[in-house]
Structure 1
Amino acid sequence: MFDDSFDTSTKETTTLSYQPTDTCDDDEGFHKFLPGELIKGRYSVFSFAGKGVFSSVLRARDLCSEDSREVVIKVIKRNHVMLKAGNSEVKILTELTKKDPKCRGHCVHLLDSFAYLGHLCIVLDSHKMNLRQVIKKFGGKTGLNLKAVKVYSRQILIALRTLKKSGIIHADLKPDNMLVSAAQNSLYVCDFGSALKAGESSLTPYLVSRYYRAPEVILGLPYSFEIDMWSAACCFYELYTGSFLFNGQTNNQMLKAHMDLLGPVPKRLLKKAHFASLHFDENYVFMHVEYNKITDKTSVTRLEIAKPAFDLLSKLRSSSSVEDVKNNRVDLFYDLLLSMLNFDPNKRISVSNALKHPFLIS
């Protein structure tokens, strides 16, 4: 337990402005880890856990807790854009932590945030693995069993319900951004650096990591909570098969993969899409852009897509046990995925109805 000097229910949000200082930073603006470093007089750093585009991650002991519990400290890169995203993440995490003090909503808790040597630091519970690591360790190239998929899928949907109640779109849902407990039975959505409030969205074709990016983002249509539902479906498939549902190197290739599974994008959506002309001609015929590594040139092929080319149900059944197929569990899983993957975000299943889907309650 934490001592009385720290209470997430009353803590004010830390907002840090960019302050150029002579700090222990590398050339990219990341904080350089020092073994035994004591941060804020309470966090004793014992290892460097890695770094991404926006931040580096340290593992530390909280010396002000009764058992010197292990925590992770996300140290935001010293950069104007990164700090802005970090301040936004702290604000969202503070709100979620206050509304869900017992962490029943499957979103990671904020323990502390503060300025340190010109960096914004975000302190979170420590978990050894994320969901991608769980898939690789226990599922290999074939994925997890359907029982585990069911448990994790339900918890992901509970997290989306938690976010929706707070009016928050995660906007980067993927296995890397879900932490798993030591017993592998609980999952917590994390990394809210791209998250935003509903109604504050702006059109950009690169929101959300590419393999999990919903078609309305790519096409430049208005988007909301439904982009997280699309991403969740991609995660569910990955849990079960160990492979990506949609694997394209560009937005154009991603749209091709979407249509291979779902058939053509409805013209009524394309007529309203700001970025449709990047991928479709004036007659709404898809322009497939391919890159040739040998010639170092791209070619454009117009494709009339009339129906799906990929049989999702057959793929799922081929990854299933005889018992799961016989008991109709795989067909129920397939039905849930399809309900989450409609091109029209308004026709995707709602999170409340998804939680009532027969696959999750059977």
Structure 2
Amino acid sequence: MGSFSSTSTPDIRFDSNHPFPQRFEIIKFLGEGGSAVVLKCFDTFTHQDVAVKFAKGKYKLKHEAEMMKYLMKHKLDQQNVIKFHHSFSSNSCLVFEMCDINLKDYIKQRHPLKMQEIRTVIQQLATALEGLKKVKVIHSDIKTNNIMVVNQKIKPLQVKLIDFGLALHSNQTSQPINQCLFYKAPELILGLPYSTALDIWSLGCVMGKMLLNCVLFPGTSDYENLCYFTDVLGPAPDYLVDACNKSKGFFKKSNSNQWILKTNPFTVTCGILGRGTP
């Protein structure tokens, strides 16, 4: 079993419930979330570097493992979705192709990006979303952290969509989705029915981030983001507010019987020019 050579990496403990496959030699720590860590490893069987996602504590990665097997069955790795190799240790260990850097860090290093560079990346992600739509899967967590540049030196504009831990099938749209606020689609805020279209909204937010190197809708709450949406896109049409089940929480009727966004007494201004970006 591999071990960490750097003291800056977190202390990850492997136990009998989550055995780490001995075929992998750990090279370095790449990142972590609430339920898993990601490690760069050397696969002694294939003699290749791979990215290994390993569950933390009581967590399992069964859902993501099943989703990745489904996507690989439909060859989505040929449509800019991360290639999934194997799962080990009762789905506590998932093995993916190794990529270079996430898009968030790539933007920081390379900003300002040229329009052609942005177009090339967005076209690849649109291809990935088209593939997901055909197999009736919603990613639901598209953001710059979940997009990887394959190799910034050799293939600086080739990207892959990663992290399908929150992905769901289109027939599961009754489930609540906890989407990142900066990329959260309006239908989720308003309690409207959602579909694969919410991934398109998130992709548009990614495109804005690539262009401006800042978040398009940097609200700290659903209400603040509705303010930003109104500033940029105009008021929500009445028929849309009529259909949502959270309308009275955010809107009120005007004297002309039209829906208008409520004024938050704790918010000095909702205008984009009136607040800084994170």
**TM-score, structure 2 length as denominator?**
0.84
Distance verdict in 2 for CA 1:240–1:145, change over 3 Å: same
Mapped to 2, the partners of 1:129 and 1:178 lie a distance apart of: 9
Q: Which runs of 5+ in 2 are unaligned?
A: 1-10, 274-278
* Deviations 1:55-90, CA, capped at 9 Å, x for gaps: 11111100001xx211111112233xx43xx22211
- 1:59 aligns with 40
Q: Which has the larger radius of gyration?
A: 1
Matched, 1:97 2:72: yes
Task: Give the superposition deviation at 1:288.
Answer: 3.6
Mapped to 1, the partners of 2:212 and 2:14 lie a distance apart of: 37
Matched, 1:277 2:248: yes
Contact 2:99 2:149 in 1 (8 A): yes
Task: Give the superposition deviation at 1:240.
Answer: 1.3
The one-letter amino acid of 2:164's match is F
Task: Give the superposition deviation at 1:289.
Answer: 2.9
Mapped to 1, the partners of 2:29 and 2:175 lie a distance apart of: 36
* Deviations 1:69-119, CA, capped at 9 Å, x for gaps: 11111112233xx43xx2221111111112217x32000011111227xx7
C-alpha RMSD of matched pairs (Å) = 2.5
- Alignment partner for residue 163 of structure 1, among 124, 132, 141? 132
Matched, 1:234 2:215: no
Task: Give the superposition deviation at 1:134.
Answer: 0.8
Greater CA deviation, 272-281 or 144-153?
272-281
Matched, 1:145 2:114: yes
The one-letter amino acid of 2:197's match is E
Task: Give the superposition deviation at 1:300.
Answer: 9.3
Contact 2:20 2:89 in 1 (8 A): no
- 1:190 aligns with 162
Tell me the number of residue pairs that the alignment of Structure 1 and Structure 2 aligns: 253
The one-letter amino acid of 1:252's match is Y
Contact 1:203 1:221 in 2 (8 A): no
Greater CA deviation, 125-134 or 219-228?
125-134
Matched, 1:88 2:47: no
The one-letter amino acid of 1:157's match is A
Contact 1:171 1:195 in 2 (8 A): yes
- 2:8 aligns with none
- 2:264 aligns with 289
- Alignment partner for residue 56 of structure 2, among 74, 77, 102? 77
Matched, 1:174 2:143: yes
Task: Give the superposition deviation at 1:285.
Answer: 2.5
Contact 1:253 1:288 in 2 (8 A): no
Contact 1:57 1:72 in 2 (8 A): yes
**TM-score, structure 1 length as denominator?**
0.65
Matched, 1:201 2:173: yes
Mapped to 2, the partners of 1:277 and 1:186 lie a distance apart of: 44
The one-letter amino acid of 2:52's match is I
Mapped to 2, the partners of 1:33 and 1:51 lie a distance apart of: 15
Alignment of 1:197-346 (within 5 A): 197-202=169-174, 204=176, 207-283=178-254, 284-289=259-264, 298=266
Contact 2:235 2:260 in 1 (8 A): no
Q: Which consecutive aligned stretches of 4+ in structure 1 deviate over 4 angstroms post-superposition?
A: none
